[in-house]
Amino acid sequence: MTEHAGIGDAGVIPRPSFARLRVVSVLGIMQILAWGSSYYLLAVVAGPLSRDTGWTLPWIVGGLSLGLLVAAVVSPRVGRAIETHGGRPVLALSAMLLAAGLMMMGLATSLPVYLMAWIVIGAGMGAGLYDAAFSTLGRYYGDGARGTIATLTLFGGFASTVCWPISAWLVEAIGWRGACFAYAGIHLGLALPAYLLLLPRADRGLSGEAARRAGLPRQAAPFLGPPRSAFVLLAAIITIASAVTSLMSVYLLEILRARGLELAAAVALGALVGPSQVGARAVEMALGRYYHPLWTMIAAMALMATGLSLMLIDLPLMALPLVLYGAGIGIKSIARGTVPLALFGAAGYPAVIGRLALYSLLAQAAAPFIGAFLMEQGGSGSILAVLAGLSLGSLAMAFLLRALWRGAGPTAA
C-alpha cells in the first residue's frame, strides 16, 4: 500500500508504511525530548534553581510564561516557513535554539540572563513542539496525515513520564546547571542529526502557492457559512481549551488539596490524568478513521466539561472526574492537529496551524496569572467554576462549528 508522496531535492518522500513509521517515530521521540527539556523542565529544576540562585519562584516560573509568549509570536512565521520549505530545516533550527537556550540557562548568573535564555528557548518551542510537528506531517502526507498526527500525540503523552525522572536524576547527579547542559548536548548530538538525516525533504511545490496567498486556504468541503467564521470558531475553541489545560496543570494539586486531601493523595489522584490522556489517544488512533475529526473535538470538549463540572460539585469519588478530564485533554491534542486539516485541506495547512498556535500559546502564557487572581479572589472553587464554564462554552462552539460544516461521505461530520 502506498502513501501520499511528493518529489523533493532528496527524491520521493518515502512511500512504504515503514518510511512513514520512521518519520513518526523520529518526530515522536524528539517531541518527548523537546517537551521534557522546555515546558516540563521547571517542574523538576525550579526548586534547586531557586535555592542555588536566591531568585524567587514567581520570577523563575515567569521564565516559562515568557517562553510561551515568544513561542506564540514566532508560530505564524514558523507555519509559513514550513509551508514554504518543509518541516525538516525548521525542526533542525528548533533543536539548535533549544540547545542554545538551555546552555544560556545553565550559564546564567543573573535573572536578566535567565530570562533571555527563556526567550531563546521560547523560539525553539515555537519551532519544535506539537504545532511545528503537526505542520510537518501535514506537509508530508496531506489529507492522509490524520493517523500520523494521532500517533505523534501518543508519543508526546509520555514526555513528563520519561523526562521528569531523567531530569531528577540529572539534577541529583550533576546539579540543575549540569542538567541544562546535558539536555543541550542531547539536542545537538541526537535531535539535530535525527532531523537532518532521518527526515525526508518536502516537495517545495506541494502547497507553496497556498503559502503565498493571504487569508485562509481553500476549505476541503463547503461550509454553510463563510470559511473565516469557521476559522474564528476553531481558534476560539482551541484557545479556550489551551487556557483551561494550562490553568489545571498549575492549580490541580491546589484544587484537590482544597477538597481536604493530603499532598500524597492529591499527587496520586493527579497522576491519573496522564494515563487517561494516553488511553484516550490510543482509542482515537484505533477508531478515528470511522468518523470526522470534528466529532473528536466535540468529544474532547464534552469530556473536559463533564470532568470539570463533576469536580465542581465535589463528588465523593474524585478519580472519575480526573479520568474524564484527562481523556478529554488527551484527544484535544489530536483534534487540534486534525480538525484544521479536515476543514481547510492540506493546502496551506502549516500556515493555518501557525496562526492557531499564536492564540493558544498566548492563552497558555496568560493563564497562570489569571489563575493567581482567581485563586486570590475566590479560591479553588472560583477557578473550577470558571474552568467548567469555559469548557461548556467551548463545547457549545464545537457544536456550532459542526453545524457550519457540510461534508459528504462516510467520514463527514
Domains (range + CATH), the chain: 7-206 (1.20.1250.20), 216-404 (1.20.1250.20)
Model confidence over 5-64: pLDDT tens digits? Answer: 333 333 334 444 658 889 999 999 999 999 999 988 988 888 899 999 999 888 888 899
Residue 38: per-residue pLDDT: 94
Tell me the Cα Rg of the chain: 21
Q: What is the mean pLDDT of residues 287-309?
A: 91
Model confidence over 250-295: pLDDT tens digits? Answer: 777 778 877 777 767 777 777 788 788 888 888 888 888 888 899 9
Q: What is the mean pLDDT of residues 325-352?
A: 88
Tell me the pTM: 0.81
Q: What is the mean pLDDT of residues 383-401?
A: 92
What is the amino acid identity at position 125?
M
DSSP result, 178-195: HHHHHHHHHIIIIIHHHH
Tell me the CA distances in angstroms from 268 to 261, 262, 274, 302, 313, one per residue in order.
Answer: 10, 10, 11, 24, 21
> How sure is the predictor about 217, in pLDDT bands with cuts at 50, 70 and 90?
very low
> How sure is the predictor about 1, in pLDDT bands with cuts at 50, 70 and 90?
very low
> How sure is the predictor about 103, in pLDDT bands with cuts at 50, 70 and 90?
very high
Q: Which sign does the torsion angle of CA 396, 222, 137, 95 carry?
A: negative
Q: Are 358 and 72 in contact (CB under 8 A)?
A: yes
Q: How many CB atoms lie within 10 A of CB 130?
A: 22
Task: List, in sequence order, every residue forming a beta bridge with 8; answer none if it has no partner.
Answer: 11
* Torsion of Cα atoms, 249 then 250 then 254 then 255, to 10°: -50
Contacts 24+ apart (CB under 8 A), 170-178: 171/44, 171/45, 171/48, 175/48, 175/52, 176/45, 176/48, 176/49, 176/52, 176/106, 177/106, 177/107, 178/106
Model confidence over 114-144: pLDDT tens digits? Answer: 999 999 999 999 999 999 999 999 888 887 8
